[in-house]
Amino acid sequence: MVSSVFVVGNWKMNGSISRAEEFCQGLRRFELDLAEQVEIALCVPDTLLAAFSASEDVRVGAQNISEYDSGAYTGEISADLLMEQGCDLVIVGHSERRQLFAESSEQVANKAAQALRHGLTPIVCVGETEQQREQGRTFEVVGEQIQAVQRELKAGDIEKIWLAYEPVWAIGTGKTAQPEQAQEVHSWIRAQLGKAGVKIPLLYGGSVKAANADQLFQQKDINGGLIGGASLDLNEFQSICKIASALTKPKG
């Protein structure tokens, strides 16, 4: 069972050192009165990683990693270089990487394996496009993305990843999946992961904001969110952390 609620920001190619400093200050757990079981993380551009490395309250992640150790790969960044910046997590296979940079599911799986070999936790993103959903191919597409990871990682390693279901049609569009729609895919993913499924945090991503986080995070198989646009606004992100915190406390 996954008992924590995960609030993970994805700044994409946005932010600045001053914004990173503002977030370090503004996300102090004791000031926000957050429950222990809330995990906060921000995945930021590589040049901002170090600004978070001293924070005890926020885990920091990158948004991409090379599948290679080192060498003649101009413009790429290795696991070791990320670790040196205090990086702890890394997003792999975000739909923007799959679509704009033609990353295949196999490459994404290799990146996840490379992250794990070096002690970084990969957040593997999966999700279907609007057209694929309309064609009734959601489970086929998400299944193919997950199977590539299952082929590449040893069974014992699969339980160390985090997974984010991000329907491509909900990313940056303001069109969130209905909580029941997201839950349906999440519970299916958990079943596909077999024994590891009960241990892996399954995050939902796609236009998550303070106004819809509560309903989404309440779903049985949703352990938190991967949040793009709303993670760039400190007030909004703080509110989502507080919503997550309220959900970890005993109800009633």
The residue among 172 and 194 lying less far from ligand PGA, judged by its C-beta, is: 172
- 94 is annotated as an active-site residue: yes
CB of 91: closest distance to ligand PGA in angstroms?
8
H or E element that contains 111: helix 105-117
Residue closer to ligand PGA by CB (options 78, 171) is 171
**How far apart, in Å, are the Cα atoms of 128 and each of 29, 117, 123, 177?**
35, 28, 17, 12
CB 143 within 8 A of CB 177: no
Shortest separation between residue 250's beta carbon and ligand PGA, angstroms? 29
CA nearest 48: which of 72, 73, 17?
17
Q: Name the residue nearer to ligand PGA (CB basis): 78 or 207.
A: 207
* Residue 186 annotated as catalytic: no
- To ligand PGA, the closest distance from the beta carbon of 228 in angstroms equals 2
* Footprint of ligand PGA (CB under 6 A): 10, 166, 171-172, 205-208, 226-230
Q: Which lies closer to ligand PGA via its Cβ, residue 10 or residue 121?
A: 10
| Count of CB atoms situated within 10 Å of the CB of 3 | 8
The single residue of 96, 166, 186, 236 carrying the catalytic annotation is 166
Structure tokens at 59: 């885990």
| Beta strand spans in the chain (E) | 5-10, 38-43, 59-62, 89-92, 121-126, 162-165, 202-205, 224-227
Cβ neighbours for 54, distance < 8 A, ≥ 6 positions apart: 24, 86
Of 94, 128, 152, 186, the catalytic one is 94
Q: Shortest Cβ distance from residue 16 to ligand PGA (Å)?
A: 18
Residues taking part in catalysis: 94, 166
